[in-house]
Amino acid sequence: MEYAITVASSWRRERSGDAEDKIVARVAAGERQALDTLYQRYAQPLFGYLLTLTSDRGLIEEILQDTFVAAWRAAERFEGHSSVKTWLFGIARRQAHNSLRRRNLELTDDTALNQTPSDEPEPEMAVLRNADRQALTDAITHLRPVHREVLLLAFVHELSYAEMAELLDVPIGTIRSRLSNARRLLREILETAETER
C-alpha cells in the first residue's frame, strides 16, 4: 500500500516560533535574562529527554550546563531553520553524545532491530491495552535508550515525526520504525513479565 504521510512540522512554530526566535536573538545580543527565559522553558524538558539517554543525574546536569553554555555561544549563529526547541534538543543531544563517548558509553542504535513498520494492526496487542499504567511505565524504563527516546520525544515533548527525524538525524521512516519497534518490544517485555509471575 502506498500513501503519503504529511506531518505538521511547523504548526507550533507558527504559534510561538517567532517569539522564541526573538528570545534567541536577545541571547545573541548578550542578554542573560533571555537565556534565563530559555532555561525556565526548556531545562526540565531537556532534563527529561537526557534521562532517556543516561540515568546518571550528575552527568545529565553537566550535559545540561554544557548545553546552555553552548546555546549562549551559538545563539548568534541561530538562523531559525529549525524551531528553538529542536535546536536546543539538538545541542543537548550532541553534548550528550560527546560526554558519553568520552566515558565510552555510546548512544546505542537499533540498526539490528530495525524492521519495516507494518501499517496493519497487530492482533497480539491485548497485553498492552490491558496492562495497568505503572506496569507499562516500568516496561518503558526497560526499553533500550533508542526506543525510550522516540517515545519521550513523541509523547512528552510532542515533536512531530519531521522534527524527531531532524533532531536524531535519521529519515522519517526510521522514526516510524523505532516507534513500531518500541511498541513491539513493550509487548514482549510485558509478556515475559506475565509468564514469570
Partner 1 sequence: MVDGAHVVDLLPAYLNQRLHNGDRARVEAHLRDCTACRAELDVWRAIASATRQLDIVAAPAPDLLGRIHDELDQDAAAQPAIGPTDVRSLQYLWQLLCGQAPLVRRGIWLASGLTTALGVLVAIATLHQSIGSFTLALIAPVVAAFGMAFIYGPENDPSLEIAISTPTSPRLVLLSRLTLVFGYDLLLALIASLLLTAVHGFSLWPLIELWFAPMLFLSALTLAVSLLFSPLVAMVGALVLWGLRLVQLSSTLHQNATTTGDTARAFGLSLLNPYLMILGLALLLFAIAYVPHQERFGPNGTMATN
Region of 16-24, 101-109, 159-167 interacting with partner 1 (CB under 8 A): 159-167
Question: Cell 515533548, residue?
Answer: 157
Closest CB 190 distance from partner 1, rounded Å = 11
Asked if residue 166 binds partner 1 (CB under 8 A), the reply is yes
Please give the DSSP secondary-structure letter assigned to residue 52: T
In this structure, the number of other CB atoms found within 10 A of the CB of residue 164 comes to 25
Residues 4-23 that bind partner 1 (CB under 8 A): 4-11
Separation in Å, CA 137 to CA 64, 115, 151, 196 = 25, 24, 11, 18
CA angle, 192 as apex, 190 and 195 as ends, to 5°? 110
User: From the list 53, 64, 185, 189, which residue makes contact with partner 1 (rule: CB under 8 A)?
Assistant: 64
Closest CB 87 distance from partner 1, rounded Å = 5
Query: What do you get for the CA distance between the two ends of the chain, in Å?
Result: 40
Asked if residue 42 binds partner 1 (CB under 8 A), the reply is no
Nearer to partner 1, 113 or 127 (CB): 127
Closest CB 133 distance from partner 1, rounded Å = 5
Asked if residue 111 binds partner 1 (CB under 8 A), the reply is no
Asked if residue 194 binds partner 1 (CB under 8 A), the reply is no
Closest CB 71 distance from partner 1, rounded Å = 8
Closest CB 132 distance from partner 1, rounded Å = 9
From 73, 76, 93, 80, select the one nearest 20 (Cα to Cα).
80
Task: Tell me how far apart the alpha carbons of residues 6 and 18 are, in angstroms, rounded to a whole number.
Answer: 23
Task: Tell me how far apart the alpha carbons of residues 55 and 1 are, in angstroms, rounded to a whole number.
Answer: 40
Asked if residue 29 binds partner 1 (CB under 8 A), the reply is no
User: From the list 100, 176, 185, 189, which residue makes contact with partner 1 (rule: CB under 8 A)?
Assistant: 176
Asked if residue 60 binds partner 1 (CB under 8 A), the reply is yes
